[in-house]
Amino acid sequence: MPEVSPDQYLALFRDMWRVRKFEQALEREFKRGKVPGMLHVGLGQEATLAAIAHSLRKEDGIFPDHRCHGLLFLKGTPGKKIMAELFGRATGICSGKGGSLHSADASVNNFGDNGVQGSYMVTALGVALGWKMQGKNNVSAVVVGDGTSGRGEWHESMNLASVWKAPVFFICVNNGYAISTPVGFSHATEDLVDFAKSYKIPAVQVDGNDVLASFQATQEAVAHIRAGKGPYFVEYKTWRWQGMFSGEFRPAEEVKYYKEDHEPIALAKADLLKKGIASPEQLDAIEKEAEAEIEEWVSYAQNSPLPDPAKATANVYIGWEVESWQS
């Protein structure tokens, strides 16, 4: 296991708070009707997200899923441009044309989410293949939820990544449920890592609420892929706070376990204190700073203009324009 320095640990802790505050602010604004469309948030999955972000380089590719708003800014895109995109504003990273489910930033090789869950599993394979053919050693990282792993594309991409030794990092976020369906109910195994093993891909399972364990597993995965040894698979066992759309359908003791006893930020905080890496005051200050930063992004988004109407018909084709309304 690679050692994690106190500074690195604190940086992970700080980014967990930034993800938490981002998603909480977003959910609040969504409920106020300021964020259009649908919203899924990554609350409860902060450790997994921070661990991934801290293991990838800027030039590595990321295919973030619907609970990865945090990854978008942790990857290096200015957070205010992410927030503005979610608000559907002109200043958003895709000029307001993508929204939560389609936010990409080519400048940091974020290839965007897909509203058709997981379709990009094979796009990630293609990015990896392209880079391999070009002699680059970037990693193409793709986030897939437990429910989404039922798709054929998952199997097609794992098989071919293995055959082609393509640099794909399969990030399996197993939070226990699809919308409402428990993973063990709808898959042949509760341990999705089993599938990857059958495709001869090195694959491990990790407690996705334990930021250090997640970080270390991710570091090993990325090092393996970057060394040209082909794909790697990590299953992060975690849990999401959000039921899906509304209400809570999961057993009360399970909710309590994940929100209190095994909550990722609290776990990290206790560990940081125990190890004497920071004082309670320092850790509280980190939380406050994160909150202030995110609220700035919210006001930036709210005060940003709506998209230029010309954007509606822009960039459909390359080389010619589509017809607009005629008088």
Partner 1 sequence: MAVITTVQALNDALGLMMAEDQRVYCLGEDIGKMGGDFGVTRGLYDEFGGERVRDTPLSEAAIIGAAVGSAMVGMRPVAEIMFADFIGTCYDQVVNNAAKVHYMFDGQFRAPIVIRTACGGGFGGGPHHSQQIEGWFMNVPGLVIVAPSNPHDAKGLLIASIEDDNPILFLEHKALYRQKGEVPEGKYTVPLRKAKVVRPGKDITVVTSMKTLYDAMAAANELEAEGVSVEVIDLRTLRPWDHQTVLESVARTGRAIVVNEAPKIGGLAADVSAVISEEAFSYLKAPVMRVCGLDTPIPFSLPLEKLILPDKDRVKQGILKVCGK
Ligand X SMILES: Cc1ncc(C[n+]2csc(CCOP(=O)(O)OP(=O)(O)O)c2C)c(N)n1
Residues that bind partner 1 (CB under 8 A): 61, 94-95, 97-98, 102, 104-106, 111-112, 114-116, 119-131, 133-134, 140, 152-153, 156-157, 159-160, 311, 314-320, 322
Closer of 26 and 298 to ligand X (Cβ): 26
Q: Which is nearer to partner 1, 156 or 284 (CB)?
A: 156
Q: Looking at 145, 208, 264, 307, which residue binds ligand X (CB under 6 A)?
A: 145
CB–CB of 63/188 below 8 Å? no
Which span (103-111, 115-123, 153-161, 215-223) binds ligand X, by CB under 6 A?
Answer: 115-123
* 138 touches 144 (CB < 8 A): no
Residue nearer to partner 1 on the CB measure, 116 or 244: 116
Three-class secondary structure of residue 233 per DSSP:
strand
Instruction: State phi, psi for 239 to the nearest 5 degrees.
Output: -160, 140
Contact call for residues 59 and 222 (beta carbons, < 8 A):
no
Stretch of residues binding ligand X (CB under 6 A), selected from 8-16, 72-80, 110-118, 256-264: 110-118
Task: Using CB under 6 A, pick the residue from 103, 157, 175, 304 that binds ligand X.
Answer: 175
Written as one string, the DSSP assignment of 105-128 is BGGGTB----SSTTTHHHHHHHHH
Does 65 contact Mg ion by CB under 5 A? no
Which strand (E) or helix (H) includes residue 254? Answer: helix 252-256
Among 19, 51, 143, 178, binds ligand X (CB under 6 A): 178
Minimum distance of Mg ion from residue 258's CB (angstroms):
13
Tell me: does residue 208 bind Mg ion (CB under 5 A): no
Least distance in angstroms from the C-beta of 158 to ligand X: 16
- The string of DSSP codes covering 162-218 is HHHT--EEEEEEE-SBSSS-BHHHHSS-S-THHHHHHTT--EEEEETT-HHHHHHHH
The token pair at 250 is: 């999961």
CB of 2 or CB of 37, closer to partner 1: 37
Instruction: Identify the bridge partners of residue 143 per DSSP, sorted by sequence position.
Output: 171
Kindly tell me the sign of the dihedral angle through the C-alpha atoms of 109, 110, 116, 117.
positive
150/243 with CB nearer partner 1 = 150
Interaction partner, residue 104 (partner 1, Mg ion, ligand X, none; CB < 5-8 Å by kind): partner 1
**Residue 110 vs 175, nearer CB to ligand X:** 175
Taken in order 181, 185, 188, 193, the sign of the CA dihedral is positive
Number of residues that bind ligand X (CB under 6 A): 14
| Out of 96, 98, 112, 145, the residue judged to bind Mg ion by CB under 5 A | 145
Q: Are 149 and 199 in contact (CB under 8 A)?
A: no
> Tokens representing 145?
């939820």
Residue 220 sits in the site that holds Mg ion (CB under 5 A): no
- Kindly give, in sequence order, each residue whose CB lies less than 8 Å from that of residue 320, ignoring residues fewer than 6 positions away: none
Strands of the sheet with 203-207, listed across from one edge: 61-63, 140-145, 168-174, 232-237, 203-207
Question: Which 42-101 positions form the footprint of ligand X (CB under 6 A)?
Answer: 67
Task: Please identify which residue in 105, 113, 146, 207 interacts with ligand X, judged by CB under 6 A.
Answer: 146
Closer residue to partner 1 (CB): 30 or 111: 111
CB atoms within 10 A of CB 91: 19
Out of partner 1, Mg ion, ligand X, none, which partner does residue 201 contact, by CB within 5 to 8 A per kind? none
DSSP at 131? H
118 is an interface residue for Mg ion by CB under 5 A: no
Question: Given the rule CB under 5 A, which residues bind Mg ion?
Answer: 145-147, 175, 177
Question: Given the rule CB under 6 A, which residues bind ligand X?
Answer: 40, 67, 115-117, 145-148, 175, 177-179, 240
